[in-house]
Structure 1
Amino acid sequence: MQTADFIQLLETYPKRNLSFEYAPGKYVRADYHVTEVKNVLIEATDCGGRQDSWKETVVQLWANPEGEEPNHRLTSSKVLDILKRVSSLQPLMKNTPVKIEYGDRDFHTAQLNITGHRLENNHLIVSLGVEHTTCKAKDRCGIPEVVGNNAQECAPGSGCC
């Protein structure tokens, strides 16, 4: 999802409590904070020597490990207000993919893609998912584009990766 699409989603459901589902049935605690919004420029070189660059927006979420804050709940409009405040100081790159960064004691810190959303009661639930790593120079490293689902095919030394 692009940053502009995420903003539009928040604008569409302003009074809903905003929840993030980082794995099926697992949610960022309801009293999370938006702690940082990052405009990110990535300049990369793959193992085959091909250079690439792209931009992303990263919204970082945090839940206080000291315990739940019962009076702290974010609505879509509150998160939208935070994004507007950020954009007034550091304009958001609206035509870039948006990622949600989150981690806690039970879930490793990761940048997650928005994979969908749904409405449940008074909540706008944003579903998150992982993007798996891959070899970006398969064509130059002799790695086939399609890899089977058999675990033995991807064993160390199998040529899978």
Structure 2
Amino acid sequence: MNAIDNSKMQKDDIALGELMSILSGAKDSPLIFYYDGRPVKPGYHVTEVKAGQFSALDCGANPEAWNEIFIQLWDIEEDDRSHMPSGKFHAIIRKVTEHVKLDDAARLTFEVSDGVRPMQLYCAAMPTLRAGTVHVELSPRPASCKPRDRWLAEQASAAACCAPASAGKCCG
């Protein structure tokens, strides 16, 4: 079994620790998640935070292991509510850590539903601060083939390593 390896996150993924670090610097700023081309409604709730440790066998018969944090957002609108301040979201996650061990380096997945449509899985990009508001773009989490992903990464690494501009660095 491979050791737990959270380095296999997609290029657009952000780890929980990165998100929390950014939010801690903007605690009074509204936190708005965007998914499917629209922002969450002002009354959204964090309904659940889960920590999982997974062991699996990929389609190439390679053992895999990773930690993942799931944050469930219920995209509803309530009267007289504005978007949650970053500090409140930060406090919710820190409250969870009093009861559940959360790995700050873990892959972060958002589960989002409006209570009508089925829950969908999203990965989060690096938050941005615009006009006093923290924006977090969520993109659908696609399926992948880990052996193919590793092969493509190796090809890209070899191409970067052995390109003429860097030939002296590793290709002798």
The aligned residue for residue 124 of structure 1 is 134
Distance 2:111 2:78 in 1: 19
- Structure 1 95/137 Cα, relative in aligned 2: closer, same or farther at 3 Å? closer
Deviation per residue, 1:88-120 (Å, 9 max, x gap): 111221121222211226865222111232223
Distance 1:41 1:118, change over 3 A: same
Which of 110, 119, 136 is matched with 2:120 structurally?
Answer: 110
Q: What residue in structure 2 maps to residue 91 of structure 1?
A: 101
User: How far apart in 1 are the matches of 2:101 and 2:59?
Assistant: 33
8 Å Cα contact 2:15-2:105 kept in structure 1: yes
The answer (yes or no) to whether the contact 2:19–2:126 under 8 Å persists in 1 is no
| Superposition deviation, residue 17 in structure 1 | 0.6
CA positional deviation for 1:72: 5.4
Instruction: Normalising by structure 2, report the TM-score.
Output: 0.70
Identity %: 25
Structure (1/2) with the larger helix percentage: 2
For the aligned residue pairs, the C-alpha RMSD in angstroms reads 2.4
- Please name the residue that 1:15 is paired with: 28
- Which consecutive aligned stretches of 4+ in structure 1 deviate over 6 angstroms post-superposition? none
Of the three residues 37, 46, 49, the one matched with 2:58 is 46
Q: Name whichever of 39-48 and 67-76 sits farther off.
A: 67-76
Aligned match for 1:32, one of 32, 36, 44: 44
> Which residue of 1 is the match for residue 89 of structure 2?
79
User: Aligned partners of 1:126 and 1:3: how far apart in 2?
Assistant: 13
**What is the deviation of 1:69?**
3.2
Letter in 1 for 2:54: I
Shift in Å at residue 33 of structure 1?
Answer: 0.5
Unpaired runs of 5+ residues, structure 1, are 146-161
* Alignment-mate amino acid for residue 78 of structure 2: E
- Is residue 47–residue 72 contact of structure 2 (8 Å, CA) maintained in 1? yes
User: For structure 2, which runs of at least 5 residues remain unmatched after alignment?
Assistant: 1-13, 153-172
Contact 2:32 2:83 in 1 (8 A): no
Judged with a 3 Å threshold, the aligned counterparts in structure 2 of structure 1 residues 107 and 55 are, in CA distance, closer, same or farther, namely: same
- Structure 1 residues 69 and 43: alpha-carbon distance in aligned structure 2, compared to 1, 3 A threshold: farther
Inter-partner Cα distance in structure 2 for 1:85 and 1:37? 10
After TM superposition, give the deviation of residue 12 of structure 1 in Å.
1.0
Using structure 1 for the length normalisation, give the TM-score.
0.74
Report if the CA contact (8 A) 1:16-1:122 is conserved.
Answer: yes
Between structures 1 and 2, the one with greater strand share: 1
